[in-house]
Amino acid sequence: MTLFKFAHSMIKLTFIFLIFCSSSLIAQKQNLKTRVKESNYIVVAYVLGYQHNGMPPPHSSYINKLRVVKVLKGTINRKQIAVVTGGYIEAPSFTPGQIVVAYLKKIPRQPLYYIPWGTEGVNETNHRGADIYIKRIQEMQQILKIKDTVQQAQATFDWSLRCFEHPATVLEGKLMLMPTFSIEAYRGMPFGQTFGKTPMQLRRIREAALAISRLPQYGADVIGFVGFASQQNDPDVIRYLLHQIQTATPENVYNVLYFTGYLNYLLITTAFLAGKETKLTPLIEQIAEVARRPAKRKRLIRKFTEEILK
């Protein structure tokens, strides 16, 4: 009996095991520091393929076949391993032919591994991205050895900035730099102690956010960091939002609604456009109303820009 046939024969036991782990499987997104710390195995691997157990949701699961390229944590002697995925609200993705970084634990007494997190338990990447992940993971492994909690927190912050500054790990950095969405981000930091207020750190955040925002897949995720780093409503944010609204196509018209909502938020909460709310808010509402009409939308944006410059 091959490894993968045996794995399928044990799928019911596996599923029971995963249900017992459900508190981890449906937990909030865990940042890279937590995954490095709490996983038993970290591997860089190629996805060879997968097999489905043939059952409908919520009982469906997959056995994913991986060829191990590099082990960053733990000891794995096999060249190929099987990772079971099932029982998740957001299941991690293994695309055949893709290189991945996976954060694993092992099912006792079975030749199977599992992921104790959802989608963030697997990073699909390319060779260059894998190299960056390897570097960041190895750095965090050294940071976790720092005994002094303040020093570890400062090192973690600097490491988070390095994550944020590279497209391959920008979302990892974002998760760390926004503890609102990542409760574990500053674990070990003394109460009331914060980092990220020095001019150099804020400048790095701002410059990285502006650079990353030019990549279509990440712009909406990081542009808010420009204003955060500037400690005010940054003109570059306004220019970015207006450009995105102006160039949106009918196919991605939701961007217009998203960015006009952001503009409206900036009008209410910041001083950059103070005193202009009465003129600008109606324009924002009109832009949203004509979202699917590019020509009229562009005319309204020109008018909006003229009002800002007055």
The answer to whether residue 55 sits within a structural domain is yes
Position 308 scores a pLDDT of 61
pLDDT greater than 90 at residue 80: yes
Q: Which residue has the higher pLDDT, 85 or 86?
A: 85
Q: Which residue has the higher pLDDT, 130 or 219?
A: 130
Q: What angle do CA 135, 193, 147 make, to 5 degrees?
A: 50
pLDDT greater than 70 at residue 259: no
The answer to whether residue 306 sits within a structural domain is yes
pLDDT greater than 80 at residue 66: yes
pLDDT greater than 80 at residue 133: yes
Summarised one tens digit per residue, pLDDT across range 208-242 is 777 777 776 666 666 666 655 555 556 666 676 66
Q: What is the DSSP string of the chain?
A: --HHHHHHHTHHHHHHHHHHTHHHHTSPPPPHHHHHHH-SEEEEEEEEEEEE--PPTTS-EEEEEEEEEEEEES----SEEEEEEES-SS-----TT-EEEEEEEE-TTSS-EE-SSSGGGEEEE-HHHHHHHHHHHHHHHHHTT---HHHHHHHHHHHHHHHHTSTTTHHHHHHHH-TTS-GGGGTTPPTT-----SHHHHHHHHHHHHHHHTSTTTHHHHTHHHHHHHTS--HHHHHHHHHHHHH--GGGTHHHHHHHHHHHHHHHH-STTTT-HHHHHHHHHHHHHTTT-HHHHHHHHHHHHHHHH-
Quote the mean pLDDT of the chain. Answer: 73
> Token pair of 134, please?
């390897």
- Report how far apart, in Å, the C-alpha atoms of 216 and of each of 140, 179, 213 are: 29, 24, 7
Chosen domain end from 126, 149, 171: 126
Q: The domain containing residue 84 runs over which residues?
A: 3-126
pLDDT bin (cut points 50, 70, 90) of residue 15 is: very low
The answer to whether residue 173 sits within a structural domain is no
pLDDT greater than 80 at residue 41: yes
Top-ranked range on mean pLDDT: pick from 65-74, 155-164, 197-206, 252-261: 65-74
The answer to whether residue 250 sits within a structural domain is yes
Position 20 scores a pLDDT of 34
Q: Which residue has the higher pLDDT, 2 or 26?
A: 2
Position 19 scores a pLDDT of 30
pLDDT greater than 90 at residue 134: yes
The answer to whether residue 85 sits within a structural domain is yes
Chosen domain end from 88, 108, 126: 126
Chosen domain end from 66, 101, 126: 126
pLDDT greater than 90 at residue 120: no
Q: Which residue has the higher pLDDT, 6 or 304?
A: 304
The answer to whether residue 184 sits within a structural domain is no
Whether the CB-CB separation of 85 and 66 falls below 8 Å is answered with no
pLDDT greater than 60 at residue 70: yes
The answer to whether residue 24 sits within a structural domain is yes
Whether the CB-CB separation of 89 and 95 falls below 8 Å is answered with no
Which CATH number fits the domain that encloses residue 44?
2.40.50.120
Position 304 scores a pLDDT of 72
Summarised one tens digit per residue, pLDDT across range 147-198 is 998 888 889 988 988 998 898 998 888 888 765 433 333 333 332 334 445 7
The answer to whether residue 223 sits within a structural domain is no
Give percent of the chain with pLDDT exceeding 90.
26
Q: How many domains are contained in the chain?
A: 2
Position 234 scores a pLDDT of 60
| pTM reported for the whole predicted model | 0.68
pLDDT bin (cut points 50, 70, 90) of residue 82 is: very high
Among 121, 113, 118, CA closest to 7? 113
